Amino acid sequence: MKQLATNMPILQDFREVKKVSLPGHEGSELEIYNSLLAGEVFKLEKMEIDEWSKNLTMLTQIIKSWNFTDKDGKDIPINIESLKLFKLADITFLIEQISDWRKKKEEPES
């Protein structure tokens, strides 16, 4: 029987998650990742679509969960069609949240 090494690195999702609320949807609660995984970036770069569609696709990968439901209480899936129903200001807000979060992580501590 092969014995497992005790000091081997573990490959896992390294991203951090934070909760945000959209300004245009009172009571909304979204969990977003602070970055994309390499495989997700690779897929985005290979897509032959316009920049707007790439941004919406990126958001479907950045949003971990949300509390949006339809009028019957059924969960709304996180997909491009759902994101198209958002106000542009909310999409911009999400992109800014991710961008600001990444900048803070990359800034050297003083």
pLDDT per residue, tens digit, the chain (110 aa), is 566 667 888 888 888 899 999 999 999 999 999 888 888 888 888 888 888 888 899 999 999 999 999 999 999 999 999 999 999 999 999 988 887 765 665 555 55
Q: Structurally, how many domains does the chain consist of?
A: 1
- What pLDDT does residue 31 have? 97
pTM metric for this prediction: 0.78
> Within a domain: residue 15?
no
- What pLDDT does residue 25 have? 92
- What pLDDT does residue 40 have? 85
Q: Note down the domain range covering 36.
A: 23-98
> Within a domain: residue 7?
no
- What pLDDT does residue 4 have? 64
**Which residues make Cβ contacts (< 8 Å) with residue 31, sequence separation at least 6?**
17, 18, 19, 63, 64, 65, 66
- What pLDDT does residue 54 have? 86
Contacts 24+ apart (CB under 8 A), 97-101: 97/18, 97/20, 97/32, 98/32, 98/34, 98/35, 98/62, 101/18, 101/34
The Cα 32–Cα 66 span in angstroms is 9
The Cα 78–Cα 71 span in angstroms is 16
> Within a domain: residue 30?
yes
> Within a domain: residue 13?
no
> Within a domain: residue 39?
yes
Of 38, 87, 69, the closest CA to residue 78 belongs to 69
- What pLDDT does residue 57 have? 92
